Amino acid sequence: MMSGGNYTSLDNQKVSGSVPAVPDPGQVTVKFADSTLQTFPPSGAQGKISGASRPPRDADDTFSKPVAGSDEPQQSGWFRTFTVAAYKQYFDVDTSDVVERVKDSLFPFRGTFNEKTSSNPDLYGPFWICTTLIFVAASIGTFVTYVAHKLKKKEWNYDINLVTWSAGVFYGYVTIVPLVLYVILKYFSAPSGLVQLFCLYGYSLFVFIPALCLSVVPLEIFRWVVAGIAGFMSATFVALNLRAHIKSAGERWFIIVAGIFLLQLGLSVVLKLYLFTVTV
């Protein structure tokens, strides 16, 4: 027993002696090299699309000149008209900008829309306003004809031409009319920015969206009143915003403003006659 116990004790000493003690290293301080990453987002103002891009000011130039120092390939003359870079700056708006401009279009007597947008005319709002009008006009017009046929128990067929007709009217109006007016103003030595005119006419059509929605009421006199109010508001909005600018054209400025006013009223009459005159 003694020998066995001694053997075990010696064996334990041998095992314990084979593991060296690890000294306590103490507190270790780890140092990291300074990061070379840039701070995000950058502290400097970079614009809504890029720091190098700035919207053009309202001038006689159809498109602004290329921004120096930009990374995009530069084109000159009419070649730049067919590049994305020529139009990117006209979509440099956010939701608050579009909402503010829509509100201005609903208060036509202020006549300050051109002043507020002269340094930043956009095509984003006009495009979506026209696109919304196309679907609203087609759907509301279809609904009105459907209800009229069902009330008289007549057979009803969907008219796909409402969509194509609405697209032609709104896209064509907001494109052709500003182009013609641009040429007229240039002829009378009172040139205005073409994009500024597109912007003005595009937002002037917003009032027709609620007007079309109200036209579901099956009262003919009510529809005429709604169409008249919408046309008057839209015409006043365009005429008052261009009046101060057109006055520089001389004594004929009143004729130009009157023509602009009557043309907008004519649009509302066309919408009423085509979309909401139901024949069963």
pLDDT digits (tens, 9 = 90+) for 251-267: 777 888 888 899 999 98
Residue 55 lies in a domain: no
* CA–CA separation, 17 and 15 (whole Å): 5
The Cα-based distances of 8 to 1, 18, 168 in angstroms read: 10, 16, 104
- What does the pLDDT read at residue 123? 92
The residue range of the domain holding 163 is 97-275
* CA–CA separation, 90 and 26 (whole Å): 64
- What does the pLDDT read at residue 51? 42
Residue 204 lies in a domain: yes
For 188-231, how does the pLDDT look when each residue is reduced to its tens digit (9 = 90+)?
877 788 899 999 999 999 999 999 898 888 788 998 999 999 99
Count of the separate structural domains present in the chain: 1
Q: How confident is the model at residue 103 (pLDDT cuts 50, 70, 90)?
A: very high
Mean pLDDT on 112-130: 90
Among candidate residues 209, 207, 184, the one with its CA nearest the CA of residue 197: 184
* CA–CA separation, 273 and 158 (whole Å): 18
* CA–CA separation, 143 and 217 (whole Å): 11
Residue 84 lies in a domain: no
Asked whether residue 128 carries a pLDDT value surpassing 70, the answer given is: yes
Residue 74 lies in a domain: no
Residue 90 lies in a domain: no
Residue 256 lies in a domain: yes
DSSP 258: H
- What does the pLDDT read at residue 28? 53
Q: How confident is the model at residue 7 (pLDDT cuts 50, 70, 90)?
A: very low
